[in-house]
Each structure stands twice: as structure tokens, then as C-alpha cells.
Structure 1
């Protein structure tokens, strides 16, 4: 029996577009192949203290704000990879998992690709 999975769906807001996914090896490969077409790639990883390894996690929320504190994106990721197209500018990126929020400021330039990895402790 062959299972067909749907490709991740891109969402558009007034100021940005985004897509999330990467659950399973096929979808993760698809998301990695798409990443260079987006200005920002956000990845979420959980580091296990007991097992001493890292694994991707889909259980996180992403918020993107401009420097005027305007929320451009506030969405739950549907996988460990969250791809965003933003206009040139400076942004505050926040990711929340299990009530813990981490953030990072970034600068986006036209025609570039940035990658941010948020690592959570198990």
C-alpha cells in the first residue's frame, strides 16, 4: 500500500509568507530543498540529557515582530522547520515550546537566506 502525504501549505499575511513542516524524512527533505527560496529558516531541536542526542521537534510556536513591535507572524509550527519570506529589515524572532520562550534579533537582506536553530533541553 502506498501512502501519499500532502505537501506543506504556504500561508500569506499582509507582510510575510510562511510554510512549516518537516515531519518524516520525505517532508523534511522537501522542506530543506525549499529553504533557499525563503529569507529565513527556523529550526527547533530538543536536546535529550539522558540519551545525549538531539532530535527535531514540531511542538513550538513562532512569532515574528518588526522593530516597531508589530507582530507579522504568530503561528504554531506544523513541523520542526519553519520557512519565512520577509521583506528587507530587522526583526525579533521568538519561539516558544512548553512555556519557554527564546528569541533572537535578525537582519534580513533581499536575496539572502538566514537559518536560526532554537535548541530546547528535555
Structure 2
């Protein structure tokens, strides 16, 4: 019995070490581009992506680089992605840099470094967040509504 435990322990340890690699590989699975409708867009000199409906489209956006603000919109206890959010990004009160209607469920934006207020509105229910966006790593914001909002 000692020999079995001595053999299984290293296997279990390797399995645990491989878990992050396996989950990362899952996110890099091939994408069926026929189902992807996401295109780079620009407003006021700010580039962004909005979409993520369906698994292939959400993977395509998540694998995109070059955007320093990542937003995710969801609803309900099951965190279901939702594509019907109005987004307002302001650099300072009254200084709007981006306005999107019916955006999501994923929105990736490339902003100049600085502090921003993000307002996400769905069915009249507003969610806000303030974030410092830099040039090195992306900021992730998640906006969630309860199922009855």
C-alpha cells in the first residue's frame, strides 16, 4: 500500500501543477471565425470592440490584445452575459470620451492613460465604477445586474 501512495502522490502533484496550463489552453481553442461579427470600431479617436455573443465571438474578443480597459456585462445568479447595455466613459465630469448604445456583453477599449468614470446602464438601472487606466496592463471591470433589474 505504501508503494501505491508513493506513486499516486507525484501524479496528483503534477495534475495540480498542470491545471493552470490546461485552463489556459482551453481559452486558446480554435475559433470558428464564421460566427464572429466583432470589428474594431472608433469614436472620438478611441478604439473599441463590442460583442461577445456566442462562444466563438467571446473567445475572439478575450484573445484580442491592445485594449487597456475590459468590461463585462452580466445579469442574474447564473451571470448570463447581456448585450444590451448603454456605456458612458468620462475622463472628468462632463468630459465624455466614449458613448455606446446596446453594447456588450464584452467591451474592450483602448484609452489614453488616466482616471475614468464608467457608467453602465441597463433597463434604467445604473452601475458606476472609477478606474485608473495605464498603458501596461488592462483593467477589468464587471458590471452585474440582478435578474429583476
- TM-score, with normalisation over the residues of structure 1? 0.86
Task: Decide which structure has greater helix share.
Answer: 2
In the alignment, which of 130, 141, 149 is matched to residue 116 of structure 1?
Answer: 141
Whole-Å Cα distance in 2 between the matches of residues 72 and 60 of structure 1? Answer: 17
Distance in 1 (alpha carbons) for counterparts of 2:126 and 2:103: 18
Please say which structure displays the higher CA radius of gyration. Answer: 2
Note the aligned Cα RMSD (angstroms). 1.9
Residue of structure 1 in register with 2:37 after alignment = 7
Equivalent pairs counted in the alignment come to 116
SS of corresponding position for 1:18:
strand
Say whether 1:43 aligns with 2:68. no
Q: How far did 1:17 drift?
A: 1.2
The within-5 A match list for 1:67-106 is: 67-106=92-131
Misfit runs of 4+, over 6 Å: none
- SS of match in other structure, 1:27: helix
Shift of 1:68: 4.3
Going by fraction, where is strand more abundant, 1 or 2? 1
C-alpha separation in 2, matches of 1:55 and 1:37: 26
Gaps of 5+ in 2: 1-31
1:33 paired with 2:58, answer: no
Q: What is the TM-score normalised by the length of structure 2?
A: 0.71
Given that residues 35 and 56 in structure 2 are in contact (C-alpha distance below 8 angstroms), is that contact kept between their aligned partners in structure 1? no
Secondary structure of the residue aligned to 2:34 is coil
Structure showing greater relative contact order (alpha-carbon pairs closer than 8 Å, 6 or more residues apart): 1
